[in-house]
């Protein structure tokens, strides 16, 4: 059981760190693409 808990802690810590880095990359590059101040809206924009 201790081995399982330790493995989960290691895996989760690794995943958490990697997720933090990936989130930082994603956040820095994200910009809103929603249209504003239009009367009519498309169903999407390819």
Partner 1 sequence: MRGSWTARLLPWAVGLVTGVLALGPALGRGFVLRYDMVFVPDPSVGAALAGADGFPRAIPSDVVVAALSAVVPSDLVQSGLLLAVFALGGAGAARLSLWLLCVHGPPGPGTAVAAVAAGVAYVWNPFVAERLLLGQWAVLLGYAGLPWVVAATARLADRTPGRGLAGLVCALIPAAIGGFSSVLISALAAGPVALWRRGPTTSRWWSRAGLFVSGLLLVSLPWLVPSLSGGAVTDPRGAEAFAPRSDTPFGELGSLLALGGVWNAAAVPPGYGEPVTALLRLALCVFALAAWAWWMWRQDRPVIGVGLSAGAAVGFVIAFLGVVESGRALTAGLIGLWPGFGPLRDAQLYVAPFGLLQALGIAFAVWYLAGAARASVWCMGTGVFAALLPVVVLPGLAWGAGGRLAPVDYPHEWHQVQEEVAADDVPGSVVVLPWSAYRGLDWSGETVVSLDPATKLFDRRTLWNDDLSVGTADGGTVVVDGEDPLAREVAEVLDPAPGTGLPRAEDLAAGLGGLGARYVLVSDPVDNGFWYEGQGFEAVREGTELTLLRVPEARVKADKPGITGLEVTGGLVTVVAIIWSVARSGSSLVLQCPGPKVGRSARKEIPK
Q: Which residues bind partner 1 (CB under 8 A)?
A: 3-4, 6-12, 14-15, 18-19, 22-23, 25-27, 29-30, 32-36, 38-46
The distance of closest approach from Cβ of residue 11 to partner 1 in the complex, given in angstroms and rounded to an integer, is: 2
The distance of closest approach from Cβ of residue 21 to partner 1 in the complex, given in angstroms and rounded to an integer, is: 9
CA dihedral over 13, 16, 20, 25, signed as positive or negative: positive
Find out whether 41 and 35 touch, Cβ atoms under 8 Å.
yes
The distance of closest approach from Cβ of residue 25 to partner 1 in the complex, given in angstroms and rounded to an integer, is: 5
Cα angle vertex 22, ends 19, 23, to 5°? 80
């Amino acid at each position: 059981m201790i081995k399982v808990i330790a493995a989960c802690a290691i895996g989760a810590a690794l995943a958490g760190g990697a997720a933090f880095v990936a989130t930082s990359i994603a956040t820095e590059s994200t910009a809103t693409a929603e249209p504003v101040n239009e009367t009519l809206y498309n169903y999407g924009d390819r």
